Amino acid sequence: MAREIVYSVCGMCSVRCPIAVNVEDGKVLSVFGNPHAAGLKGALCARGAAGPALLNDDERPQTPLIRVGERGEGKWRTATWDEAFDYVAEKLSAIRAEHGPEALLFSDRGGPFPDLHKAFMRGFGSPNYCNHDSACARNVQHAALSVFGFGRKDLVYDLKNARHVVLQSRNLLEAINVKEVNDLMDARDAGCKLTVIDVRANIPASKADHFFMVRPGTDYCFNLGVLHLIINQKLYNRKFVKEWVDGFDILKEFVQPFTPEYVERETGVSAIALENFVHDFAKAAPHVIWHPGWMTARYNDSFYMSRTAYLINALMGAIGSKGGLPLSCKVGDVGRKGLKPLTELFPKPEKPRADGVGWAEGRTHFDAGPGLVHLAYEAIESGKPYPIRAYIAHRHDPLMAFPDQKAVKKLWEKLDLLVSVTFSWSDTAWNADVVLPMSTFLERESIIASKGGLKPQFFMRKRAVAPRFDTKADWEIYAGLAKRLGMEPLAVDRIEQLWERQLEGTGVSIADFDAKGFVELADKPTIKPVAFKTPSGKVEVVNAKLEKDGLKSLPPYVSPAKPPKDAFRISFGRCGLHTQGHTVNNPLLFELMPENVLWINKTKAKAMGIEHMDMVEVASVAPGGTPGTLRAYVTEFVHPECVFTIHGFGHTLPVESRAKGRGVSDNELMPGGFARWDRAGGAVSMQENYVTVRKV
Ligand SMILES: Nc1nc2c(c(=O)[nH]1)N[C@H]1C(S)=C(S)[C@@H](COP(=O)(O)OP(=O)(O)OC[C@H]3O[C@@H](n4cnc5c(=O)[nH]c(N)nc54)[C@H](O)[C@@H]3O)O[C@H]1N2
Ligand SMILES: Nc1nc2c(c(=O)[nH]1)N[C@H]1C(S)=C(S)[C@@H](COP(=O)(O)OP(=O)(O)OC[C@H]3O[C@@H](n4cnc5c(=O)[nH]c(N)nc54)[C@H](O)[C@@H]3O)O[C@H]1N2
Ligand code: SF4
Ligand SMILES: [Mo]
């Protein structure tokens, strides 16, 4: 019996926790949290532990597939990898010859391994590398950039040492990052206070010292009220403000109307409770964290919720502080050399990006990084600024991730080629021309990734077992295409060729990863001195780029519309047992949670004759959505103006026998929602949609 522990990286969600895989005779027995990883305590979440069930599931694409029927009809022919590579490469070459290399669009799920995909796009000659983030954290990213000049991941949440944590639109105990969960629980044991601001009582609310159930859409107002109290009652860190905050007087003047009484009328939170909380919070400064949110593609002003959250942290002196939000160290900050980027194998494409991000009028304030893929779709439809005719959706299911499938499909109609690279079935894979099946995370290697933080590190995903089916790792997929598209440097036969290239000059070797699966680049945690990348070098209340694009740094607060009569705003989020839409069909996780329910306020439900666990139909108020039926979860712990559900259910594909027909898809309740996106923050505004509910 050959038994071994393989150190690798979880792939059940984009957090990518370090894992230890218990392998016997080429079979995975179990998966644990990597015991060497600080803060993980050897733990994984339920989804990570269900990795072997994904590996052993036969209901996933097992070989390359080429469409034979109409798009979405589900008629395929199986192909060998050579055939599939030839097919895709020939199409791509023809499109490049006719429309130029920029006619290829790529969207990615994000995470730590995008360098390879970006390199592939550069090698092809296209600038159109995007990720999924306009349906996720783009508002937070742009908020960080606008206030600090650096991105959201340039700050660390030092939860372990915090004395008061505020979770606003952030479900830290169910939308899981295992280390963060452990750190928060340790901090709580050491006396850290917890405040939750949400439209319903989630799990963190059950452990909170202060819980505020705010009227949906009023978070910006809530934060302006908090700033009002912090400033007027001189609860801020004067030294930090004097040294580091530019525009304090402008902020002071702006927040004057937001008295506790005003905030009470808007949010429903009592003026006294608000004042008590703010004093409690300020007492713990600077060891405080006001979380700016993660999935904030919710309202037209969610960007401003995150901006004001960052400003509150700054006024508390929490930026750069232990137990607050210290600056993340990059590899270079601890005197080491970073990984050699694979993108540098090819020159930067000359054409501007199709989404207009960073250059087009009204879009110059956006991060020139991975951009806004929903705007690139508009370029497919309009042909402006130039035609986009091929699209590779890598580890991305836009048909489930964006509102309004019909609208998205329509925008894709002019594509000559749509490729889905995925390890499970998804609506996007089902609608693709070619499905390139990826090996699960237990069956593949990835390129080496680098992680910043207080102690930067490199980490490596290793193959724990051989693939069960005819699937490939992503490096094998892009190497296969690179060989046929004349991109020599990526046309490798072994992953070591890429690893060696990445590690050149770093002083780290491939063998160094054997001991723990990662290599730490500093002996002890480093708290970096505070420095901002804004033009003034300070925290900026007024952002010149926003103003130049005709947008406001501090827009007037607009009271959110009340839902139409007998209707509710749709609200959604995550649960601990599933990742987005792609684990519902996982045999183990499905058993634990086969469908979603609809949280509805008790008083409202009573008036509508709906009892707990009754079947209800939920339908969009705007025409064009797809109604669905699910059970009502009747509770006083959800705001009466909204109903809430867990995202990712309501699958329809015949190839997913378990998930099919179970629960309801929230994004199908948002017709027209694809077009509602925030000009300032860049993300779609998914909670600006209303639904009706009736007992069936
Ligand atoms: N209505 C509504 N819409 C939402 C949300 C919501 O709550 N409500 N949540 C939003 C959020 S926060 C996000 S992040 C997005 C998520 O949506 P997406 O960005 O599309 O991400 P996932 O659903 O995680 O994965 C997409 C596909 O990639 C495949 N996949 C997963 N991991 C891998 C991998 O390692 N390799 C490969 N090749 N394929 C992989 C999965 O099988 C799945 O089919 O959706 C957003 N959209
Ligand atoms: N188990 C699990 N963990 C995950 C994921 C997963 O799919 N499953 N996905 C990962 C990804 S991609 C992301 S982006 C993160 C998301 O992490 P989070 O953003 O923390 O997760 P969500 O559950 O979408 O939303 C957080 C909370 O916002 C609340 N909320 C909804 N509307 C409002 C509002 O108007 N105001 C306020 N104040 N609160 C509101 C919801 O009730 C929910 O409790 O989680 C990551 N971790
Ligand atoms: S949070 Fe869970 S699913 Fe996500 S990477 Fe960590 S263990 Fe895996
Ligand atoms: Mo996300």
Cα 172 to ligand 4 centroid, rounded to whole Å: 13
Query: Which ligand gives the minimal distance to the CA of 581?
Result: 1
- Which residue is closest in CA terms to ligand 1's atom 1? 667
Same-domain status, 209 and 303? yes
Residue pLDDT, tens place only, 327-347: 999 999 999 999 999 999 999
Query: Which ligand gives the minimal distance to the CA of 178?
Result: 3
CA angle 369, 582, 614 (to 5 degrees): 125
| DSSP character at residue 668 | G
Cα 685 to ligand 4 centroid, rounded to whole Å: 14
What is the distance, to the nearest Å, from the Cα of residue 136 to the centroid of all Cα atoms in its chain? 4
Query: Which ligand gives the minimal distance to the CA of 423?
Result: 1
Cβ 48 under 6 angstroms from ligand 3 = yes
> Which token pair is 449?
């990734």
Q: What percentage of the chain has pLDDT greater than the value 90?
A: 97
Give the pLDDT confidence score for residue 221 in this predicted structure: 98
Give the pLDDT confidence score for residue 162 in this predicted structure: 98
Separation of alpha carbons 218 and 280, rounded Å: 22
Would you say 289 and 324 are in contact if contact means Cβ atoms under 8 Å apart?
A: yes
Query: Which ligand gives the minimal distance to the CA of 648?
Result: 1
Residue 13, pLDDT above cutoff 80? yes
Largest pairwise CA distance in the chain: 73
Sheet of 518-520: strand order equals: 449-451, 457-459, 518-520
- Which residue is closest in CA terms to ligand 1's atom 26? 396
542 — pLDDT class (breaks 50, 70, 90): very high
Same-domain status, 163 and 102? no
Q: Residue 243: CB partners within 8 Å, gap ≥ 6?
A: none
3-state class of 528 per DSSP?
Answer: coil
Same-domain status, 129 and 189? no
The CA-to-CA distance between both ends of the chain, in Å, stands at: 57
Residue pLDDT, tens place only, 23-71: 999 999 999 999 999 999 999 999 999 999 999 999 999 999 999 999 9
- Which residue is closest in CA terms to ligand 3's atom 1? 177
Q: Residue 565: CB partners within 8 Å, gap ≥ 6?
A: none
517 — pLDDT class (breaks 50, 70, 90): very high
Residue pLDDT, tens place only, 353-391: 999 999 999 999 999 889 899 999 999 999 999 999 999
Same-domain status, 168 and 293? yes
Atom of ligand 3 at shortest distance to CA of 9?
Answer: 5
Check which CATH number belongs to the domain holding 633 and give it. 2.40.40.20
Atom of ligand 3 at shortest distance to CA of 16?
Answer: 5
Would you say 61 and 439 are in contact if contact means Cβ atoms under 8 Å apart?
A: no
CA angle 297, 302, 306 (to 5 degrees): 110
Residue pLDDT, tens place only, 258-295: 999 999 999 999 999 999 999 999 999 999 999 999 99
551 — pLDDT class (breaks 50, 70, 90): very high
Tell me if 347 is assigned to some domain.
no
Separation of alpha carbons 498 and 487, rounded Å: 14
Cβ 218 under 6 angstroms from ligand 2 = no
Domain boundary among 286, 309, 326: 326
Q: Which residues line ligand 1 (CB under 6 A)?
A: 11, 109, 132, 135-136, 295, 394-397, 401, 421-424, 426, 438, 441, 572, 579-582, 647, 666-667, 686
Give the pLDDT confidence score for residue 111 in this predicted structure: 83
- Which residue is closest in CA terms to ligand 3's atom 5? 16
Query: What is the enclosing helix (H) or strand (E) of 244?
Result: helix 238-244
Residue pLDDT, tens place only, 128-146: 999 999 999 999 999 999 9
- Which residue is closest in CA terms to ligand 3's atom 8? 48
Cα 597 to ligand 4 centroid, rounded to whole Å: 21
DSSP notation for 250-263: HHHHHTTT--HHHH
- One-letter amino acid identity for 606? K
Give the pLDDT confidence score for residue 77 in this predicted structure: 98
Would you say 549 and 365 are in contact if contact means Cβ atoms under 8 Å apart?
A: yes
Same-domain status, 412 and 263? no
Atom of ligand 2 at shortest distance to CA of 136?
Answer: 14
Angle between helices 138-148 and 302-315 (to 10 degrees): 40
Residue pLDDT, tens place only, 583-604: 999 999 999 999 999 999 999 9
Same-domain status, 195 and 129? no
Query: Which ligand gives the minimal distance to the CA of 684?
Result: 1
Residue 119, pLDDT above cutoff 80? yes
2 — pLDDT class (breaks 50, 70, 90): confident
Atom of ligand 1 at shortest distance to CA of 423?
Answer: 39
Give the pLDDT confidence score for residue 574 in this predicted structure: 97
Give the pLDDT confidence score for residue 203 in this predicted structure: 98
Ligand 2, pocket-test mutation among 169, 582, 645, most atoms within 8 A of CB = 169
| DSSP character at residue 442 | G
**Beta strand 449-451 with 539-540: parallel, antiparallel or unpaired?**
unpaired
Taking alpha carbons only, the member of 214, 193, 196, 219 closest to residue 206 is 196
Residue pLDDT, tens place only, 381-412: 999 999 999 999 999 999 999 999 999 999 99
Tell me if 69 is assigned to some domain.
yes
Same-domain status, 399 and 481? yes
Cα 309 to ligand 1 centroid, rounded to whole Å: 26
Same-domain status, 172 and 303? yes
- One-letter amino acid identity for 572? F
Give the pLDDT confidence score for residue 690 in this predicted structure: 98
Burial of 416 (0-12, 13-18, 19+ CB in 10 A): middle
Tell me if 163 is assigned to some domain.
yes
Cβ 14 under 6 angstroms from ligand 2 = yes
Beta strands in 387-498 (DSSP E): 390-394, 417-422, 434-437, 449-451, 457-459
Taking alpha carbons only, the member of 177, 311, 345 closest to residue 241 is 311
> Which token pair is 595?
């469908």
Please give the mean pLDDT across all residues of the chain: 97
> Which token pair is 415?
């594509």
> What are the φ and ψ backbone dihedral angles of 220, each rounded to 5 degrees?
-60, -45
Cβ 54 under 6 angstroms from ligand 3 = no
Residue pLDDT, tens place only, 466-482: 999 999 999 999 999 99
> Which token pair is 80?
């060998």
- Which residue is closest in CA terms to ligand 1's atom 8? 647
163 — pLDDT class (breaks 50, 70, 90): very high
Check which CATH number belongs to the domain holding 13 and give it. 2.20.25.90
Tell me if 341 is assigned to some domain.
no
Residue 1, pLDDT above cutoff 90? no
> Which token pair is 570?
């749709």
| DSSP character at residue 326 | P
Cβ 131 under 6 angstroms from ligand 2 = no
Taking alpha carbons only, the member of 588, 605, 582, 339 closest to residue 452 is 339
Query: Which ligand gives the minimal distance to the CA of 61?
Result: 1
Burial of 406 (0-12, 13-18, 19+ CB in 10 A): middle
Cβ 580 under 6 angstroms from ligand 2 = yes
526 — pLDDT class (breaks 50, 70, 90): confident
> What are the φ and ψ backbone dihedral angles of 666, each rounded to 5 degrees?
-65, -35
Cβ 176 under 6 angstroms from ligand 2 = yes
Same-domain status, 501 and 362? yes
Same-domain status, 593 and 638? yes
Cβ 15 under 6 angstroms from ligand 3 = yes
193 — pLDDT class (breaks 50, 70, 90): very high
Cβ 179 under 6 angstroms from ligand 3 = no
> Which token pair is 352?
């501007």
Check which CATH number belongs to the domain holding 442 and give it. 3.40.50.740
Query: Which ligand gives the minimal distance to the CA of 16?
Result: 3
Tell me if 377 is assigned to some domain.
yes
Give the pLDDT confidence score for residue 241 in this predicted structure: 98
Same-domain status, 297 and 428? no
Atom of ligand 1 at shortest distance to CA of 667?
Answer: 1
Cβ 45 under 6 angstroms from ligand 3 = yes
Cα 19 to ligand 1 centroid, rounded to whole Å: 21
The residues whose Cβ lies within 5 A of ligand 4, an ion, are 136
Give the pLDDT confidence score for residue 110 in this predicted structure: 83
Same-domain status, 247 and 110? no
Query: Which ligand gives the minimal distance to the CA of 667?
Result: 1
Cβ 576 under 6 angstroms from ligand 2 = yes
Check which CATH number belongs to the domain holding 275 and give it. 3.40.228.10
Cα 491 to ligand 1 centroid, rounded to whole Å: 28
Residue 95, pLDDT above cutoff 90? yes
**Beta strand 434-437 with 65-67: parallel, antiparallel or unpaired?**
antiparallel
Residue pLDDT, tens place only, 430-458: 999 999 999 999 999 999 999 999 899 99
Tell me if 390 is assigned to some domain.
yes
Query: What is the enclosing helix (H) or strand (E) of 33?
Result: strand 27-33
Ligand 1, pocket-test mutation among 113, 423, 670, most atoms within 8 A of CB = 423
Per the structure, how many domains does the chain have? 4
Query: For tokens 């867990």, what's the residue?
Result: 646
> Residue 51 is part of which domain span?
3-55
Ligand 1, pocket-test mutation among 12, 170, 394, 395, most atoms within 8 A of CB = 395
Ligand 3, pocket-test mutation among 10, 21, 446, most atoms within 8 A of CB = 10
Tell me if 427 is assigned to some domain.
yes
- Which residue is closest in CA terms to ligand 1's atom 17? 401
Separation of alpha carbons 205 and 292, rounded Å: 17
3-state class of 652 per DSSP?
Answer: coil
Ligand 1, pocket-test mutation among 47, 113, 461, 582, most atoms within 8 A of CB = 582
Cα 657 to ligand 2 centroid, rounded to whole Å: 27
The alpha carbon torsion through 363, 369, 372, 375 (nearest 10 deg) reads 60
Cβ 573 under 6 angstroms from ligand 2 = yes
Tell me if 146 is assigned to some domain.
no
